[in-house]
């Protein structure tokens, strides 16, 4: 945690007397704003959010398995304004996590890691998210599958 711990092995530093206290990951408030920092935070937030979305999908499957009455009940919630907001946020999270994930797969090959390219890839993933989410919902509404 403190700068005094720099240098020497972890065990040597505390003499092996106490359980080792390793530093935690950097917390949000210590970062100066930059594109890849925002991209990283959003990647993590959307990842956790998608878990909630996955639970909603499983709830849909369970309602379907329970039969027509349970399904009607599920759809009543799913098609309500609040339900549509949840699906909307789910779709934003999915598109962003998808784009940011592809960006990470590119970085994992060792490519695109200069500051300029890394920022460009990140900004592209933001633009992709907005465009893809808008197109997705325009498609659902214009084909009459979703009534807003």
DSSP for 43-96, written as a single string:
HHHHHHHHHHHHHHHHHHHHHHHH-HHHHHHHHHHHTSHHHHHHHHHHHHHHHH
Site residues for another protein, 44-73, by CB under 8 A, read: 44, 47-48, 50-51, 54-55, 57-58, 61-62, 64-72
For residues 9 and 109, which CB has a smaller minimum distance to another protein in the complex? 109
The residue within the footprint of another protein, chosen from 22, 33, 116, 148 (CB under 8 A), is 22
Is residue 135 a contact point for another protein (CB under 8 A)?
no
- Which region among 9-17, 31-39, 98-106, 123-131 touches another protein (by CB under 8 A)? 98-106
- Residue 71, CA atoms < 13 Å, CB-side half-sphere: 6
User: For residues 73 and 127, which CB has a smaller minimum distance to another protein in the complex?
Assistant: 73
Q: Rounded to whole angstroms, how far apart are CA atoms 90 and 93?
A: 5
Integer Cα distance of 5 and 108 in angstroms: 31
Contact (CB, 8 A) for 107 and 118: yes
- Sites for another protein among residues 28-47 (CB under 8 A): 44, 47
Enumerate binding residues for another protein (CB under 8 A).
Answer: 22, 24-25, 44, 47-48, 50-51, 54-55, 57-58, 61-62, 64-72, 75, 91, 94, 98, 101-102, 104-105, 108-111, 113, 136, 139-140, 143-147
């Amino acid at each position: 945690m403190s700068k005094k711990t720099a240098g020497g092995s972890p065990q040597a530093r505390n003499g092996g007397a106490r359980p080792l206290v390793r530093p935690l990951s950097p917390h949000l408030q210590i970062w100066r704003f930059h594109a890849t920092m925002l991209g990283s935070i959003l990647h993590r937030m959307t990842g956790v959010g998608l878990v909630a979305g996955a639970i909603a999908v499983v709830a849909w499957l369970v309602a379907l398995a329970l039969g027509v009455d349970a399904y009607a009940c599920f759809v009543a919630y799913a098609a309500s304004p609040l339900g549509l907001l949840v699906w909307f946020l789910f779709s934003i999270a999915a598109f962003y996590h998808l784009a940011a994930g592809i960006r990470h797969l590119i970085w994992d090959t060792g490519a695109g890691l200069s500051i300029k390219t890394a920022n460009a890839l990140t900004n592209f993933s933001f633009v992709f998210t907005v465009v893809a989410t808008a197109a997705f919902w325009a498609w659902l509404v214009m084909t009459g599958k979703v009534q807003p």
